[in-house]
């Protein structure tokens, strides 16, 4: 009889231990989910390499976007020259479209991205060249996860939409609209605000999306004709007052 009791006790212990490990495995978040709870992509970003005279880039390194960026932009504090180049790569394929362009102020270079690019991690490899013929390489990474679009307020099909600048927030913060939609920002409070494209303080990602200072009652409008994601912020409150527009 004692033999069966011992066997039964051992069986119960084994079941409890196995159950503990299974529960721990199913409920413990990965490092990626701790960093970005809403993302379904298991992102593991490497440390970026910054070239000489590098200042910033959009998308930001380590960011996970809900849509494809309309372009990748890199900012410098020195004049760029040919043959500066950007490659937007994933699984051995370059998803950049067209040639790398240098802005008229020569401090930023950009390249458009294929709007059909799949979800996943992208490595941006770039070569920044100066007028003296010297070039310096660098890289950074970002990810695309379209499942994050569920967090956006769906305003597709509307010709015009309004975003209020209130309580030091964009309201609504993240919206999804159709191509050709006119977006108007209205400042509802006495604090001065701005509508600025990323990054800060370069504001170079989408040059058309940069307003003047908006006092109470002031408004700023822009029509979006190109599909993609448009991250932006208020430069007076750049760390906390942020938003995104997803254009389909």
Does residue 48 fall inside a structural domain? no
How far from each other are the two terminal CA atoms of the chain, in whole angstroms?
72
Strands 181-187 and 160-166, sheet pairing: parallel
Could you tell me if 134 and 90 lie in one domain?
Answer: yes
pLDDT band of residue 44 (cuts 50, 70, 90) is confident
Q: Using CA of residue 101, residue 105, residue 106, residue 109, what is the dihedral sign?
A: negative
What integer pLDDT is reported at residue 43 of this predicted model? 54
Does 38 score more than 50 pLDDT? no
Does residue 130 fall inside a structural domain? yes
- The mean pLDDT value for 155-161 works out to 98
Could you tell me if 77 and 142 lie in one domain?
Answer: yes
Could you tell me if 124 and 96 lie in one domain?
Answer: yes
CA angle 206, 224, 207 (to 5 degrees): 15
Could you tell me if 180 and 227 lie in one domain?
Answer: yes
Could you tell me if 127 and 76 lie in one domain?
Answer: yes
Domain containing residue 19: 2-35
Does 32 score more than 60 pLDDT? no
pLDDT band of residue 168 (cuts 50, 70, 90) is very high
Q: Which one, of 212, 214, 208, 200, lies nearest residue 242 by Cα?
A: 200
Could you tell me if 200 and 140 lie in one domain?
Answer: no
Looking at the structure of the chain, the number of domains it has is 3
Could you tell me if 64 and 121 lie in one domain?
Answer: yes
Task: Supply the pTM of this predicted model.
Answer: 0.82
């Amino acid at each position: 009889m004692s033999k069966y009791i011992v066997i039964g006790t051992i069986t119960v212990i084994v079941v409890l231990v196995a159950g503990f490990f299974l529960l721990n495995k199913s409920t413990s978040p990965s490092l990626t989910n701790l960093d970005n709870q809403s993302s379904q992509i298991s992102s593991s970003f490497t440390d970026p390499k910054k070239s000489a005279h590098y200042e910033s880039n959009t998308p930001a390194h380590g960011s996970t976007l809900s849509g494809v960026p309309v372009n990748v932009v890199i900012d410098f504090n020195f004049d760029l020259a040919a043959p500066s180049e950007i490659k937007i790569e994933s699984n051995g394929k370059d998803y950049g479209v067209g040639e790398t362009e240098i802005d008229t102020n020569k401090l930023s270079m950009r390249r458009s991205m294929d709007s059909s690019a799949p979800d996943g991690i992208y490595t941006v490899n770039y070569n920044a060249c100066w007028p003296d013929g010297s070039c310096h390489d660098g890289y950074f990474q970002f990810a695309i996860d379209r499942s994050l679009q569920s967090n956006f307020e769906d305003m597709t099909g509307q010709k015009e939409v309004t975003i209020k600048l209130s309580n030091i927030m964009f309201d609504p913060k993240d919206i999804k609209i159709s191509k050709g939609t006119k977006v108007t920002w209205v400042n509802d409070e006495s604090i001065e605000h701005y509508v600025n494209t990323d990054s800060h303080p370069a504001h170079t990602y989408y040059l058309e999306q940069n307003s003047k200072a908006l006092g109470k009652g002031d408004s700023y409008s822009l029509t979006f004709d190109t599909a993609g994601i448009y991250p932006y912020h208020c430069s007076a409150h750049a760390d906390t007052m942020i938003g995104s527009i997803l254009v389909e």
